[in-house]
Amino acid sequence: MVEAIEIKPNIGEFDLPRGYIDENNNIYRRVLLRELTGEEEDILASNTMNLFTKLNKVLANCILGFIKSDGNLMEINDKNKLFKIVREMCVTDRLFLFLSLRILSVGNIYSFNIVCPTCGENKSYAVDLSTLEIKKPKELCQTYELELPSGIKVRMKVMTGVEEEMIALDKKSVNDSLTYAIFVRMLELNGHPVNIDIVKKLPLKDRNYIRTMIAEYEGSIDTVLEIRCTHCLNEFNSLLDLGKPSFFFPSET
Ligand SMILES: [Zn+2]
């Protein structure tokens, strides 16, 4: 006979850049997560769900609860409720949750291969995910108003998983990703409803201003990786790609 041992997944507490706001306007900034298990690996590998359903299911599985400001844990055992909560969370918090899950499950060092745009050499690099620069939003609100440099007034909303999904499901968004990133957040322009053509025609200085203010109101995580080619010493930037299977499963390159 051998003694059976209990398998206990790793659990960790993480401080969200923004925080989850419940229906009574209570703010929860700290979240309790458990590491990924085979159950989530199967979800991520499934061919029957779209990417956003998979990501929301993984988050709903791994969030054990939110920690109140008094230090008490608010457990949420209803997976459907959690699925709805993670879908409506701000994109910065969602990105932060995926990074935290990665760190908790397989560690903070992420190794990747990349081809240098100057010399064409494919080399391996590593980044410490716990050192990415995280900025908290300057103010906690769901909608906000801006006066653009051109004098146009707009009303904006904080982007959540719902708008992320909207962009992913609209095939036209592939070629106009910068416009869509503004469009899905814009509720009104000079008091009128917004369409994609209006957003496209906005002057560049207005669009740049909007992007700066989005980072102010949503917070941000800097996922630009600065790489110095070990072959030709040229420096270049690359974006951290969380969509790669190797991000969560380092053995799959
Ligand atoms: Zn090079």
pLDDT tens per residue, range 116-133: 999 999 999 999 999 999
Whether 62 contacts 100, CB under 8 Å: no
Closest CA to 230 of 111, 73, 122: 122
Give the pLDDT confidence of 16-75 residue by residue, as tens digits.
999 988 888 888 999 999 999 999 989 988 888 888 888 899 999 999 999 988 888 888
Q: How close is the Cα of 117 to the center of ligand 1, in Å?
A: 7
Rounded to an integer, what distance in angstroms lies between the CA atom of residue 128 and that of residue 110? 6
Confidence category of residue 225, pLDDT binned at 50, 70, 90:
very high
Give the pLDDT confidence of 104-120 residue by residue, as tens digits.
999 999 999 999 999 99
Closest CA to 34 of 73, 68, 69: 73
Q: How close is the Cα of 125 to the center of ligand 1, in Å?
A: 13
Q: How close is the Cα of 235 to the center of ligand 1, in Å?
A: 8
pLDDT at 211 over 60: yes
pLDDT at 252 over 70: no
Q: How close is the Cα of 114 to the center of ligand 1, in Å?
A: 10
Residues 6+ apart with CB under 8 A from 119: 229, 231, 232, 234
- Angle between the N-to-C axes of helices 51-62 and 79-87, in degrees from 0 to 180, rounded to the nearest 10: 120
Give the pLDDT confidence of 38-54 residue by residue, as tens digits.
999 899 888 888 888 88
Closest CA to 92 of 218, 217, 213: 218
Q: How close is the Cα of 103 to the center of ligand 1, in Å?
A: 29
Q: How close is the Cα of 236 to the center of ligand 1, in Å?
A: 9
Whether 194 contacts 182, CB under 8 Å: no
Q: How close is the Cα of 113 to the center of ligand 1, in Å?
A: 13
Whether 82 contacts 33, CB under 8 Å: no
Q: How close is the Cα of 110 to the center of ligand 1, in Å?
A: 20
* Tokens matching residue 66: 């939110």
Give the pLDDT confidence of 135-162 residue by residue, as tens digits.
999 988 899 999 999 999 999 999 999 9
State residue 253's pLDDT score.
46
Q: How close is the Cα of 112 to the center of ligand 1, in Å?
A: 15
Q: How close is the Cα of 237 to the center of ligand 1, in Å?
A: 12
